[in-house]
Amino acid sequence: MAELTALESLIEMGFPRGRAEKALALTGNQGIEAAMDWLMEHEDDPDVDEPLETPLGHILGREPTPTEQGPESVVGESKPVLTEEERQEQTKRMLELVAQKQREREEREEREALERERQRRRQGQELSAARQRLQEDEMRRAAEERRREKAEELAARQRVREKIERDKAERAKKYGGHGGSQPCPPTTEPGPVPSSPGKEPPTKREYDQCRIQVRLPDGSSLTQTFRAREQLAAVRLYVELHRGEELGGGQDPVQLLSGFPRRAFSEADMERPLQELGLVPSAVLIVAKKCPG
């Protein structure tokens, strides 16, 4: 019986009897190679050693004989006897077949491992490229945000400059004519007259512009050029628009002082031209908080 010879060969090769019988039955008793292929493919299955529910004879395509139903059913009644030399030769062929199947399986697993590694590398490259694109997009958005903030800052500075110019124009329009019609009493500049009464100082030269440097309480300074006939109030407005948080951030008025000679300018002085106050062609003013009352 061919199937019994194949069963014995599988047992001789080291396969358990139940597993060998199951392999032969499930492969339709098509030979030892088919059974070995099944055993190699299902050796890691958790139910590989579980017995079949259907009788072996039905799976093999025949009815089980009374001998197969007994305890010696797998042996058969007319089993051919093999010599020791034939048995060794058959075992050798089977071992070679097992080794060949094992090599084929290892080669297949190696090819599958190489394919998985190529897939992993390809996915890694795609992930790296996606990460690079994301980083470039973030850098581009950050650059656009910086350009937008810079444009907004420039626009804000331009609005402040325009407001200063409008305020200066309005004050010049409101006080320019009146301030020009005010008499210039000679007693307001008594400094050079007593020292050299016979000499006419060169202050009669008409200056069109006046350069004012304003020193703030925090040690910083502001420098701006005004027209000579512009009121002192324009200087105070410029300081209030450009001073820092230390002076109140544009909330409280400030007091302007002159250093040499020491002088505190009053509200009446705010409406007087810079030329009339002796601040032309240049002067240094000191800023202090205006005391209440």
**Domains in the chain: boundaries:** 6-42, 209-243+253-289
- Give the pLDDT confidence score for residue 101 in this predicted structure: 81
Q: Residue 223: what pLDDT?
A: 92
- Cα–Cα dist 291/257, whole Å: 13
Please check the confidence at residue 77 and state whether its pLDDT lies above 50: no
CB 266 within 8 A of CB 255: no
**Averaged pLDDT score across all residues of the chain:** 77
Is residue 67 scored above 50 in pLDDT?
no
The angle at the Cα of 84, spanning 83 to 90, to the nearest 5 degrees, equals 90
For 229, the 3-state DSSP assignment is coil
- Least confident stretch, 19-28, 175-184, 205-214: 175-184
Q: What is the pLDDT of residue 272?
A: 92
What is the model's pLDDT at position 68? 46
pTM: 0.31
Pick the most confident of 101-115, 128-142, 174-188, 204-218: 128-142
Name the band, by pLDDT with cuts 50, 70 and 90, for residue 8.
confident
Span 19-34, pLDDT tens digits:
888 888 888 888 888 8
Residue 218 scores a pLDDT above 60: yes
Percent of the chain exceeding pLDDT 90 equals 27
Least confident of 131-135, 200-204, 206-210: 200-204
| Statement: residue 55 has pLDDT above 70 | no
Residue 293 has pLDDT above 70, yes or no: no
Q: Give bridge partners of residue 256 from the DSSP assignment.
A: 287
Query: Three-class SS of residue 6?
Result: helix
Q: What is the pLDDT of residue 292?
A: 58
The CATH number assigned to the domain with range 209-243+253-289 reads 3.10.20.90
Best CA proximity match to 105, nearest among 206, 37, 158: 37
Q: How confident is the model at residue 117 (pLDDT cuts 50, 70, 90)?
A: very high
